[in-house]
Chain A
Amino acid sequence: MSNGTRGETVFRGISWSAFACSANTACVDVKDGKILRIRPLHYDDVTTVDQRRPWRIEARGKVFEPGEKTMLPPLSLSYKKRIYSPNRILRPMKRVDWDPEGERNPQNRGASKFEHISWDEATDIIASEIKRIHDQYGPYAILCQADGHGETKVVHAPHGAQALLLDLVGGYTLQSRQPDSWEGWYWGGKHIWGNEPVGMQVNQRNLYKDIAEHGDAVLYWGCDLETTPWGWGGEQPSRMAYFLEDLGLRSFFISPDLNYTGAAHKGKWIPVLPNTDAALQLAIAYVWLTEGTYYKDYIESHTIGFDWFERYVLGGEDGVPKTPKWAEGKCGVPSYTIKAFARYWAKHAVSIAHADGGGMIRSPFSAEPARLEVVLLAMQGIGRPGVGQLHLIEFGQFGFAEWNPMPRSEKYFEVPGAYHGWMELLDGHPSFIPKTMIPQALTLQEGEKLHWHGHGVCTAPRSDQFIPFEWPLDDAPYIHMIMSDSPSWTTCWNCGNAMQDALRNERIETIVMQHPWFENDAVFADLILPVNTMFEEKDIAVDNWTGQFNMMYIQDDCIEPIGESKSDWECAIEVAKKLEKFGGIYADLVERYTQNMDVDAWIKAGFESANVDPSLMTYEEFAEKKMCLAPTAVGWEDDPVALSAWYEDFSAQPMQTPTGKIEIYSTGLAEFFPDDKTRPVVPHWVEESDDLKERLSCERAKDYPFLMVTNHPRWRVHSEHDDITWLREIHTCKVAGPDGYMYEPVWLNPQDAGKLGIQDGDIVSIYNERGSVLGGAIVTERIMAGSVYQDHGARVDAIVRGKGGLDRGGANNLICPLATASENTVSEATNGFLVNVKKVDVEALAAQYPEEFSREYQPEDGLRVSAWIVDEDQ
């Protein structure tokens, strides 16, 4: 390879966890200040085979190996278009009718346009607003949203660089983000079997090898390994699934949609109506109970409370036996298939695979199907050879090696010493608001408080969920100012329309956001700082998330910052420069914030915090080679399989529950929330609650007779990537409307489409009382009748803002329930909610909303920031 076609190569992790853990390690070729290409890293280019010690999994006469290169997804390979997107924010912007010295016009947020201002003016305004809010209300009047979906960076962290600054001047109120992709595990799983901090089987050690050797089947239960892992670790799970098929294991796809896993792999699809998995699970238990086909001794020795469950399933509690016929009426799976499935399962070694997301785990009452899955796994002796709960994403997350089903690496890299973001920790922020309750918090009436339990952050232990909290703290102010990075609340959380209303509340005097692109919540800002993409910054990165080889590397900047953009960290420094002029608590703020360290010094600090054994690499070698790859651990084959010791004797490897057993009767819930019907002590089918009426049996279903599937998107990471031209050309990414607009696809079964008079390619509205979002119909057998599918996270294009509003972009989080998934949790319920669908006439809508429908728009890349900037010549 010569430099002629290659250019200079830079290592770069192109992923979107947005915390300090990167993935998708790529080689970026750069020439003449321009990015030529993004391609996989070949391990041979940075190490020798001897150095890597590649693992080999041998099973049934076949061999699986890590592969010779990183398995980049299309989201990484197409990223050049994101970097050079015409929707980049290139200069600081201020809303034209927001005057910090006069009228602020909060009601116009999301509608009025912006003007460019200088960095000097922008940071002057931000600093003086912070000072004013501090003086007038106190520091807790500033809400920091430091957890939006964004790029993964470390020194330049997009998650809370501004929050870290405010920590130095009295603190702030924290928006506390709950585990939006694994809610049910966190709020349910932990109460039945601990498994801190996730609530899924966190000990995955050698589980993949065990399943390859001893398993008969894998249930991909709401699991889309061909989609969700892409943004966090690429396509290795795809290879893993193919290998298991090669070995003869059967695959089952259990979801309302034939998702991309079911599309790519061969197996049996069991379509189940959205968020009715609990009914299916109960009926499977019914078959096993009545036919005596479960591990009775194991249940006796390894669990508590099974008798409560048995009584409920057989109808002793409510007079309703949870028969397959009963379940068929709820979940749409024929009772004969449920029986056949239960019998097959009881005769085979069956594992269940997840890759975050999946409908049931993000739906109303998500703690129920999570716990019921654990009950089923227990009834079939989880821990015996070939039976586990397999996790196919974010291998090694939280930095512990067990949380990886693939052969152990010698080193799991973490670089907290370089990180400038928020770490989802519990301490230090007495004033915090669960992210799911932000709309209520922003609009509280004078004298009112919010009450809930638990910090909700993904690192918190089970016991944290029992701690009562309230906001605001005594004598503390309400929120008067918001500072956000990677702002994507409305596109990714519960009832974005309520948030759009809250952001226009007049109590909110100032909203400052920083982001590379003008998208989603950014439209609701008063002042916006332009952030650069990771390709414009030098940084350090780690990649532990593929199960191939763990790496830590220096990411040189590939190109000069585009426009006047700066990194999130640099944005905070610019604000600090202005704040320190006020003296007092603000004195020496730049020095206190940067600790007089430049980017290289932070990278070095990051390396040091990784505690790398010098025999692997010293800092001097790292600075020169820029890449540190950890070999496979010697002796990994001898690590005991995940739960094998537990299986043999529960006390040898107890669960993190009060009794050390699987608590089908959850003692913690019994102690703290004995009367909670929305998360009962023993897992149940919950039909509805006062807050959530999202079942086909509910009165509302007369008006909204479909259940919504809102998967993690195939062609985005949450709300990112929606402007990438090359992705938007793909058939399942967008549907071209008659008006030239590229609508977000809506999958409808032909039966439903026929009843609704909708044809392939029609533009439709998905709606309920909370509002409506548009989409382009794809009439397909990939979705079962009774369900409507639209990926979540399409870019907001608000035609009518707020509750009852209309969104052209198809951002269906706008119309999710606002209520939390169960009473005593702060989890979101953003899947499996009721909607109706109708065909719309976009020309009529355009006539009704001429201004909104004529915003500058290019079908290739979508909405552009230029549409929102006033003509500067005037």
Chain B
Amino acid sequence: MNNALKAMRNTRVMRDVKAREGVLKNEITRRAYLYVARNTTLPPQVRHQAQLQLNTFDKYTRPTTVKNRCSETGRGRGIISEFALCRFQFRLRALQGELNGVRKACCTYISITPAYPC
């Protein structure tokens, strides 16, 4: 899809999207260098060169820079990853019945119906 038609998001989310795309783009090369650098059967010089190459990669190519954020608000904490939502947005959506298979817990009676929004 045309990038210009996508909604502008939170700056932090956009940074995260950038990191995700960077990881996708460089993952195979990075893995190859990692393989060489961590392989103790190879000569130390080669391994060192591979490590130096690894260090030249951009910050936004490492999988550890990627953080799951809320797709609605961009919040970084309290995320329920399966829905890509923070806890409050998750609650709002769930109460509106927009999340399949999610329903409010209720202890006052025993329910034997399968999981669907009540």
Interaction A to B: no
Residue ranges of B at the interface with A (Cβ–Cβ < 8 Å): none
